[in-house]
């Protein structure tokens, strides 16, 4: 029989790695609380239509990367490729906007995209992200950026930059698309295939192209900043001004348009160093049009970002910022089988009820092997419990760190172990 293997692009997160994940997740939650964000958990799958309409039919995600299947009732279901549309759906469905005008929500959860895996790209990957729903003010945009920066800083990351741009409101974009197309038209024959198609379907995405010949043409292309309406211009200026006031270093990137259809006004990315070809740690922006795309009657302003945890781990590994696993074991109880084993087993339970972490022998091995196991488990102490010890109520407690051993009354054990915690 052939061994069954995991699905391409998925990962088993083993104990020494899950420890690192916990460290990151704890830090993320801590900073979220500081900024007044609350966790929201939405289902792992949604109606396909949510993403088709919310993210945009022409985006790469929807057109070729979604895990879509038909369930037994013939509904088209999709494993979520991102979480902004689901959060907005939940916000609308639960009338959170009626409860209060500002909802600040965050999530930490797996996403799914059927792409060919490579460094920093998986089919099941994990993101943390925030959605600030309600406010149209540029302060909200900046707050999300600062929040992201604080998480990276708290984790000790230094090798990264912030890129920012404005893609304007609907009117700005109509203006800009016209100017861009006018500029590109004479060069069209020299551009790559996809860009020629984008010229009609979604010209702003051409700015994303990394093809060399397209690139050289684009260096002289008009910039969207010059096509912004007064509102959009003012919004962007205020965002930049707030970033300056808060001493955030950033780069304006006129070619930053981002892949998803729902962005308006501010678009930004956190770019990491030393990550290989996939160097975006996270990205986000404002998306005032999304709510209406998925069926809301009134406009709902919102801004947020999503950040990849696998890429964050890669970046942190690069800078050696991740903690080593700490077993947290206080004591290993070594016994000699038979009655001593039963007594040790019961003692373990008593200690555990007293908030002490205990490891016991489950293989019936020799004392020597048990001591080796105790050492390997990372336990601070080993308690050696034989027949004599059970009779006298006193046992040998060995401090594995100091390599010192003393005899101790079993009744004093809890206090003795807790003492070393301080």
Cα 393 to Cα 58, 349, 352, 387: the distances in Å are: 75, 17, 19, 10
Phi and psi (nearest 5°) for 229?
-70, 170
Beta strand 264-272 pairing with 251-252:
unpaired
Using the minimum distance from each CB to RNA, give the nearer residue, 97 or 117.
Answer: 117
Count of residues that interact with RNA, criterion CB under 7 A = 70
Residue 155 contacts RNA per CB under 7 A:
no
CB of 400 to RNA, least distance (A): 3
Q: Between 138-154 and 230-245, two packed helices, what is the crossing angle to 10 degrees?
A: 30
Choice from 26, 73, 95, 116 touching RNA (CB under 7 A): 116
Residue 255 contacts RNA per CB under 7 A:
no
Q: Among 127, 82, 83, 87, which Cα is nearest to 105's? A: 87
Query: Which residues 6+ apart lie within 8 Å of 171 measured at CB?
Result: 229
Choice from 73, 219, 403, 411 touching RNA (CB under 7 A): 403
Name the one range near RNA by CB under 7 A: 89-97, 222-230, 236-244, 272-280: 272-280
Choice from 289, 308, 347, 417 touching RNA (CB under 7 A): 308
- The secondary structure element, H or E, covering residue 244 is helix 230-245
Residue 303 CA to chain centroid, in angstroms? 17
Using the minimum distance from each CB to RNA, give the nearer residue, 127 or 166.
Answer: 127
**SS3 call for 75:** coil
CB of 108 to RNA, least distance (A): 13
Residue 306 contacts RNA per CB under 7 A:
yes
Choice from 37, 66, 78, 82 touching RNA (CB under 7 A): 82
CB of 63 to RNA, least distance (A): 10
The site string for RNA over 212-231 (x = CB under 7 A, - otherwise) reads --------------------
Please check whether residue 80 is in contact with residue 51, taking contact to mean a CB–CB distance below 8 angstroms.
yes
Residue 276 contacts RNA per CB under 7 A:
yes
Residue 77 CA to chain centroid, in angstroms? 23
Using the minimum distance from each CB to RNA, give the nearer residue, 92 or 384.
Answer: 384
Name the DSSP letter for residue 222.
Answer: P
- Show contacts with RNA in window 6-45 (CB under 7 A): 6-9
Question: Of all residues in the chain, what percent are helix, strand and coil, respectively (each to 5)?
Answer: 45, 20, 35
Choice from 238, 255, 365, 394 touching RNA (CB under 7 A): 365
Residue 149 contacts RNA per CB under 7 A:
no
CB of 199 to RNA, least distance (A): 13
Name the one range near RNA by CB under 7 A: 108-116, 155-163, 241-249, 321-329: 108-116
Q: Exposure pattern of 42-76 as b/e (b: 16+ CB <10 Å)?
A: beebbebebbbbbbbeebebbeeebbbeeeeeeee
- The secondary structure element, H or E, covering residue 140 is helix 138-154
CB of 381 to RNA, least distance (A): 10
Q: How far apart are alpha carbons 400 and 379 in whole angstroms?
A: 7
Residue 376 contacts RNA per CB under 7 A:
yes
Using the minimum distance from each CB to RNA, give the nearer residue, 231 or 253.
Answer: 253
Choice from 110, 117, 135, 273 touching RNA (CB under 7 A): 117
Residue 138 CA to chain centroid, in angstroms? 24
CB of 62 to RNA, least distance (A): 10
Using the minimum distance from each CB to RNA, give the nearer residue, 72 or 368.
Answer: 368
Phi and psi (nearest 5°) for 356?
-105, 135
Residue 158 CA to chain centroid, in angstroms? 18
Q: Which residues bind RNA (CB under 7 A)?
A: 5-9, 59-61, 82, 113, 115-122, 125, 127, 194, 205, 208-211, 258-260, 269-270, 276-283, 306-308, 310-311, 336, 365-369, 371-376, 382, 384-389, 395-396, 398, 400-401, 403, 405
């Amino acid at each position: 029989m052939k061994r069954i293997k995991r699905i391409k692009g998925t990962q088993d997160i083993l104990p020494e790695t899950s420890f690192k994940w916990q460290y990151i997740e704890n830090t993320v939650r801590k900073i979220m609380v500081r900024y007044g964000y609350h966790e929201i958990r939405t289902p792992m799958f949604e109606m396909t239509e949510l993403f088709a309409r919310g993210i945009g039919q022409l985006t790469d995600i929807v057109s070729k990367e979604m895990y879509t299947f038909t369930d037994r009732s013939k509904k088209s279901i999709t494993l979520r490729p991102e979480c902004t549309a689901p959060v907005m759906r939940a916000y609308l469905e639960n009338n959170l906007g009626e409860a209060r005008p500002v909802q600040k929500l965050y999530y930490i959860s797996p996403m799914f995209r059927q792409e060919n895996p490579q460094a920093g790209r998986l089919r099941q990957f994990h993101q943390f992200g925030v959605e600030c729903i309600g406010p149209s003010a540029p302060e909200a945009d900046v707050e999300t950026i600062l929040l992201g920066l604080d998480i990276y800083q708290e984790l000790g990351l230094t090798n990264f930059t912030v890129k920012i741009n404005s893609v304007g409101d609907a009117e700005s974009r109509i203006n800009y698309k016209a100017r861009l197309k006018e500029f590109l038209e004479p060069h069209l024959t020299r551009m790559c295939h996809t860009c020629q198609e984008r010229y009609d379907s979604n010209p702003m995405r051409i700015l994303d192209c990394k093809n060399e010949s397209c690139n050289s043409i684009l260096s002289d292309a008009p910039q969207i900043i010059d096509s912004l309406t007064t509102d959009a211009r003012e919004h962007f200026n205020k965002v930049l001004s707030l970033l300056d006031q808060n001493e955030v270093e950033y780069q304006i990137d006129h070619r930053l348009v981002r892949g998803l259809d729902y962005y308006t006004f501010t678009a930004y990315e956190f770019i990491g160093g030393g990550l290989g070809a996939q160097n975006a740690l996270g990205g986000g922006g404002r998306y005032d049009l999304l709510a209406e795309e998925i069926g809301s009657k009134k406009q709902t302003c919102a801004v947020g970002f999503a950040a990849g945890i696998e890429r964050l781990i890669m970046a942190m590994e690069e800078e050696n910022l991740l903690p080593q696993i700490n077993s947290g074991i206080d004591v290993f109880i070594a016994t000699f089988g038979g009655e001593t084993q039963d007594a040790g087993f019961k003692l373990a339970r008593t200690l555990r009820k007293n908030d002490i972490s205990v490891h016991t022998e489950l293989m019936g091995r020799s004392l020597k092997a048990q001591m080796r196991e105790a050492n390997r488990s990372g336990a601070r102490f080993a308690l050696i419990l034989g027949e004599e010890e059970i009779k006298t109520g006193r046992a040998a407690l060995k401090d594995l760190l100091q390599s010192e051993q003393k005899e101790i009354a079993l009744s004093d054990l809890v206090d003795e172990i807790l003492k070393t915690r301080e």
